[in-house]
Amino acid sequence: MVNGKQKLFQIGLHVVFSAIVLMCLLPFVLLIMTSFTDETMILREGYSFFPSKFSLDAYAFLWNDKENIFRAYFTTIMVTLVGTFAGLSISSLLSYPMARKEMPMRKALAFFVFFTLLFNGGLVPTYFIYTQVFELKNTMMALIIPGLLTNGFFVLIMRTFFMNSIPVPIIESASIDGAGEFKIFFKIVLPLSLPILATIGLMQTIGYWNDWFNGLIYITDSKLFSLQNLLNRILLNAQFIQSNASSMNMSDISAGAKIPMETIRMAMAVIGVVPLLCAYPFFQKYFVKGLVIGAVKG
């Protein structure tokens, strides 16, 4: 009887989680299918998983700007890689000392990190500091540093992980054997911290990849546009052409009328999200473990 109840419970659990998985996957499937749907079919029939007519007009429209898109891809990939590596380095080097009980003023430092989560200087002072003092405008650093390089939330999660998951006897043993603090950190602590490093790394990767705000504020040079900024500008240009076609000549009117706005939006979303979907499986086995352990109160 007990086994029967357990089987029914497991079956129900599988059904519930399968439904949740479908609810998460179906929007992506609809997004991809809509990007390959003919614009007139969307206007006539609405969004569908099985469109009656396929079209590559949206991707053809974006392909006309392929050089800028490839350049923006390269910029975004470089910014994501450099920013994620630098952010992980800074966060781990800051959070590990706060996890060591022998560090003086570690509680004060933890409060200072927490304070940054509650208050900031505001957009205008931040803009002037980065552009006038540090002179980051129209540089790659403007896409890496402001608002993304470090995050107090990530630092506190890593601190909790170090406190709860790194055995103190191992550190003490290594110290007795003559290992210095840097050797302990790089040879012992970091190899044991792969779950939290992968978790924070994935969060920072998503943050850098999806960021458009820094590019909007600090970048005016088109050669430095990130992927999100470029796609946003392409969409705005297409909307401008379509909305102002009546005041242009006949060739512009026909061009504006043929722009598939709905499918362009979907195609841009596919271009922006597919690389992250491809990267996520490599982080998945560490993600849940690192997030759960790092979120436990220390």
DSSP of 103-115: STTHHHHHHHHHH
- Residue 272 φ/ψ, nearest 5 degrees: -80, -30
Closest of 139, 138, 190, 142 to residue 166, by C-alpha: 190
Return the SS3 of 51: coil
103-130 residue pLDDT tens: 888 888 888 888 888 888 788 888 999 9
Q: What mean pLDDT comes out for the span 256-279? A: 75
Indicate the range of 21-30, 77-86, 135-144 predicted with least confidence.
Answer: 21-30
**Residue 220: how many CB atoms within 10 A of its CB?**
11
User: In whole angstroms, what separates CA 39 from the centre of its chain?
Assistant: 30
Where does the pLDDT of residue 246 fall: very low under 50, low under 70, confident under 90, or very high at 90 and above?
A: low
| Residue type, position 98, single letter | M
| pLDDT digits 0-9 by tens, 51-80 | 888 888 888 888 888 888 889 889 999 999
Q: How far is the C-alpha of 208 from the C-alpha of 55, rounded, in Å?
A: 32
pLDDT of residue 144: 92
Is 0.95 topped by the overall pTM?
Answer: no
What are the pLDDT digits (tens) for 91-104?
999 998 888 888 88
* Structure confidence at residue 280 as a pLDDT band (50, 70, 90): confident
The confidence band for 143, taking pLDDT boundaries of 50, 70 and 90, is very high
In the predicted model, what is the mean pLDDT of residues 21-36? 85
